[in-house]
Structure 1
């Protein structure tokens, strides 16, 4: 029980620190969302001055309340945050940041989440088999997948687009779905799902190819180390079936460190694959983040960073608790 209380207290303090930094960092940067919006409107109007009413309205919506100190702004920020209010986007005014993130989040979770799970399963299964059959031709899979992992994301994505999408026409080039009028009735939902699935294949393949090598190499090395443990040698000396020794004794224990890494990887699913989403113009959180940074949309940047940070912390917290259940030694030494 003491282990779980310590971990809960640690993550509670970490969440407070992350939210506080998310509040302070944009205020340390030059300018503010209201000033940026006023500058954009002035440029759009050809340099003509804006009326005091328009400036007052923009400051009321995007700027801090007049006469409030930093501490008062901090308390207001926490109050809005607890009510689910992340502010108004200056680049997509008057859209709320919560609505923009909610619209992009499902695309990223489905694409990056599915690709992460696939790469993890493929890497763990292949790594366990390669480690079990070490010294055979299967060891050649390790340098092949390592080379694929070292290839930059954007280069691999561009190659897949050029070959499979442009030259062969097997997949769509960009976007998350086809922009056309879907048929009326129940067929519309099915047509949309088919279109979204088709558009997600190339980005998902890019992520899987680029990440499966790390899982395979880590699992292979842990499998080789586990094969020399006393309990595995004893199981083999008892005459147990090789498949039982491989799955119940070797692979089961060798996969524990990879499970911790998988929890962290799941936390970063919400961040999306920024380069992949940008190359494929995929409507996910990663592309939304790039648009926020390029447009100096502080409210949107704050919202995206906060969602990513809290998700990563939540994933680590859950994995810490599960790790304590899987490996009791963690509870005694923590």
Structure 2
């Protein structure tokens, strides 16, 4: 309970600081969403409409900054992240809710697969160090160092243009009606296969190398020697003693990776024209759509905090030393 309260206080303070910065940052920048909107519609907006827009976006000059800050928190608690003027004044929550599932579904699944596969392969290579399996490391590391946009373009050229195995872009085929039907789900899986594979290949090397190095470090510990001296089977030593302790540092990296899933893989979404949250953020930045940018930043921040909370819980469950230290 003491550990939970301490961590909860820390994350609540972090969330408050992030939300406050998210509120202040657009107001500290030159210009505002209303000014950007008026530049695109010069002479088409009446002064009364401009005043109404400033009130809508919480930028009413007649209200103090503190009053605007209180209004901002009230809107957050009511689930209102404002309106996006680059999407016809649609609610920001609706726009993010439309793009978020695409990013979480694709990048999230690819990240989880790469973490599990890289951790397992790294554990095996670390346990069997000095053998032929070590040849996997330079190959995986090479793919991790290749710029992602280059890898994506090569994958499109080979597997889409030359071989015709996968589509080159978009989340589903043109003319397909979205819905929870087997045909639509099949189209989504088919279109997402190539970008997902490239994400796994690009990120696999880091997980393999990190787990392999930690396995080598853990295998030199005394408790591994004692476990082997007891005559325990290798699979028990690897799974229960070595891999369980070696993967603890991996959890922190995995938590950050999970948190930034919400931010999406911007380069991937641009290369494959995928309708995710990363591309939405780029479009909002180009349009100077501050409400949409604020909403996306807020969602990303909260996702990172939630992922770190889950990592803390998993760390305490897997490592008895952490529980003893907190006790």
Partner of 2:279: 287
- Matches of residues 55-134 of structure 1 in structure 2 within 5 Å? 55-62=50-57, 64-134=59-129
Q: Are 1:182 and 1:191, in contact at CA under 8 Å, matched by a contact in 2?
A: no
Partner of 1:320: 312
Among residues 121, 139, 144, which one is paired with 1:144 in the alignment? Answer: 139
Q: Could you tell me how far apart the structure 1 residues matched to 2:310 and 2:117 are?
A: 23
Q: Are 2:58 and 2:71, in contact at CA under 8 Å, matched by a contact in 1?
A: no
Q: How many residues align?
A: 326
Partner of 1:45: none
- Matches of residues 156-175 of structure 1 in structure 2 within 5 Å? 156-175=151-170
Greater CA deviation, 33-42 or 8-17?
Answer: 33-42
Mapped pair 1:37 → 2:37: yes
Show CA shifts across 1:25-78 (max 9, x none): 111111111111111122xxxxx4543344344334335234001111111001
Among residues 300, 306, 309, which one is paired with 2:298 in the alignment? Answer: 306
Q: Could you tell me how far apart the structure 1 residues matched to 2:94 and 2:321 are?
A: 44
C-alpha deviation, 1:182, in angstroms: 4.4
Mapped pair 1:246 → 2:241: no
C-alpha deviation, 1:264, in angstroms: 2.1
C-alpha deviation, 1:131, in angstroms: 0.5
Question: Which consecutive unaligned segments of at least 5 residues does structure 1 have?
Answer: 43-47
- TM-score when normalising by structure 1: 0.93
In the TM superposition, structure 1's runs of 4+ consecutive aligned residues that sit over 4 Å from their partners are 331-334
Q: Could you tell me how far apart the structure 2 residues matched to 1:257 and 1:22 are?
A: 30
Partner of 1:233: 225
Q: Could you tell me how far apart the structure 2 residues matched to 1:35 and 1:182 are?
A: 38
Q: Could you tell me how far apart the structure 1 residues matched to 2:4 and 2:193 are?
A: 40
Q: Could you tell me how far apart the structure 1 residues matched to 2:281 and 2:249 are?
A: 31
Partner of 1:28: 28
Q: Are 1:32 and 1:63, in contact at CA under 8 Å, matched by a contact in 2?
A: no
Q: Are 2:176 and 2:184, in contact at CA under 8 Å, matched by a contact in 1?
A: no
- For residue 91 of structure 1, give the secondary structure of its aligned residue in structure 2: helix
Q: Are 1:97 and 1:299, in contact at CA under 8 Å, matched by a contact in 2?
A: yes
Q: Are 2:58 and 2:68, in contact at CA under 8 Å, matched by a contact in 1?
A: no
- TM-score when normalising by structure 2: 0.95
Q: Are 1:33 and 1:63, in contact at CA under 8 Å, matched by a contact in 2?
A: no
Show CA shifts across 1:77-120 (max 9, x none): 01101111111112112211100000011111110110001101
RMSD across aligned C-alpha pairs, in angstroms?
A: 1.8
Mapped pair 1:276 → 2:268: yes
